[in-house]
Amino acid sequence: MNQNKFMLGVDIGTTSTKAVLYRETGEIIAQSNQGYDLNTPDVRTAEQNPEEIYQAVLYVIRQTIKDSEIDKEDLSFISFSSAMHSLIAMDENNKAITPCITWADNRSLNWANKIKNEWNGNDVYMRTGTPIHPMSPLSKITWLEQEHPELAGKTKKYIGIKEYVFNQLFGEYVMDYSLGSATGMMNLEELAWDKGALEITGISESKLPRLVPTTEIFSDCRSEIAADLGIAPDTKFVIGASDGVLSNIGVNAIKEGDVAITIGTSGAIRTVIPKPRTDQKGRIFCYALTEDHWVIGGPVNNGGMVLRWIRDELAASEVETAKRLNIDAYEVLTAIAKQVEPGSNGLLFHPFLAGERAPLWNANVRGSFIGLTLNHKKEHMVRSALEGVIFNLYTVFLALVEVMDVPVRSIKATGGFSKSGLWRQMMADIFDQNVIVPKSYESSCLGACLLGLYAEGKIDSFDVVEELIGFTHQHEPNPEHIQAYRELMPIFINISRSLEQEYEQIAAYQERKSLENKKK
């Protein structure tokens, strides 16, 4: 690695695109960020404008290069990270004929249920590693082909947002194995489009991009674009991988037994294994990072958004006081929760306010407080909500441990929640593991750059990340707290399993009411 050479990581996210320029030795030189809207006209739709995102990618690269004032010849490569599960239909003229349908879009729910329950969905999952869910392109393409034949008939290619960007830059449709493994249509063993999955969607392989390794390098970017970005025309572009698997590298959770947990608005838990593995019970995903690194884990819908709901709906007066005293509203919430002993005096909160992905993979599950008595106060409700988010992540962790061949060595915790000492300690106690908070260096961008160094043969493993990343906090489990949580955990798990039928009935009732109110 060369002190005088630079690498640019670009992370195409759901709310914004970020670019970070590093020296090859790891120091950040410059960075840029550009946000864009997520259009949600109704409860099931979540779309974006692909052209707006492409322009954001160009903007952050141009801006970062300009701000850094480096010599363009010293830029070793640009490497990409991207959000998973997006879908765009492209026509014969390479024009998008749908918006970018994001992972959060639920319109293919009925088809996901049909695939799962009637069309051997579990077999497809076992081969492809993506649980059957409306988030996946497998479900979305099936829905478009079945319900929108006028669109499907005009579609030449089904792609995601990174493929859209690469097509603009290089004039071809290519998808890396990592994003391919998140479509629900790539056979993990064969690293090729899965015939059974294609039969379900009703399309042929020719309607999908060409699959390539995450280390594939492109270097013939369109000259007018290179000039506009301020880069040399032969600059190397590493196709890279998905944001989820790259953040594992970026937080130094890359060795077997290292588990990374992120809680932002939603959350995820992941670990790296050397060969692809799926879970007979269908609870976890398996995505490619490189051909020798596979990431298993589970995404949860309900992370920080639960705390935001508690803040807005249950703690308005406390938040008002916090504002007047110029104190962060979330600090007030955790101060309230601290007054209560672990276990919230037997009050359990199921945090399924936005349905749930792992481990239940059911958009119709609903949130609940269970165990309420006259002795419970608002502070018990706040604490049990915080505990519920971690309990839910722990149920995904249990599924991971069943598939892992080695014991858990460490938990690296990142995301907005890691700012709260109470929440970090809660995780250590519920998981009965040491919890480490790595210093945050835009983990997906850093992961993309380390993958770029690996692609170029400048490093032969990702272990160098250890030298680049320190940690800010470390928590050990408290034996007294562990006991309370151990007793409550099985009850928490059993309740969510037992209420499956009732969740469906409540969801159907809510949907009917919502339609009635729309008509009024």
Rounded percentage of the chain residues whose pLDDT exceeds 90: 89
Rounded CA separation 46/99 (Å): 10
Tell the CATH topology of 6-244: Nucleotidyltransferase; domain 5 (3.30.420)
Domains 6-244 and 304-405+493-519 share a fold: yes
Report helix, strand and coil shares of the chain as percent, to nearest 5: 45, 20, 35
User: At 438, which helix (H) or strand (E)?
Assistant: strand 435-438
Total Cβ atoms within 10 A of residue 189: 9
The CATH number of the structural domain formed by 304-405+493-519 is: 3.30.420.40
Q: What single-letter DSSP state applies at residue 47?
A: E
pLDDT recorded at residue 157: 98
Residue 287 has phi, psi (to 5 degrees) of -120, 150
Segments of the chain with pLDDT less than 50: none
pLDDT recorded at residue 264: 87
DSSP string covering 219-233: ----HHHHHHHTS-T
pLDDT recorded at residue 441: 67
> Domain locations in the chain?
6-244, 304-405+493-519
pLDDT recorded at residue 2: 86
pLDDT digits (tens, 9 = 90+) for 70-118: 999 999 999 999 999 999 999 999 999 999 999 989 999 999 999 999 9
What are the residues facing 241 on neighbouring strands? 81
pLDDT recorded at residue 319: 86
What are the residues facing 28 on neighbouring strands? 22
Total Cβ atoms within 10 A of residue 296: 22
Strands 410-414 and 435-438: parallel
**Which are the contacts of 424, defined by CB distance < 8 A and separation ≥ 6?**
413, 417, 418, 435, 437, 473, 475
Name the H helices within 294-420: 304-314, 316-324, 329-338, 378-403
> Per the structure block, which two tokens stand in for 459?
């490093």
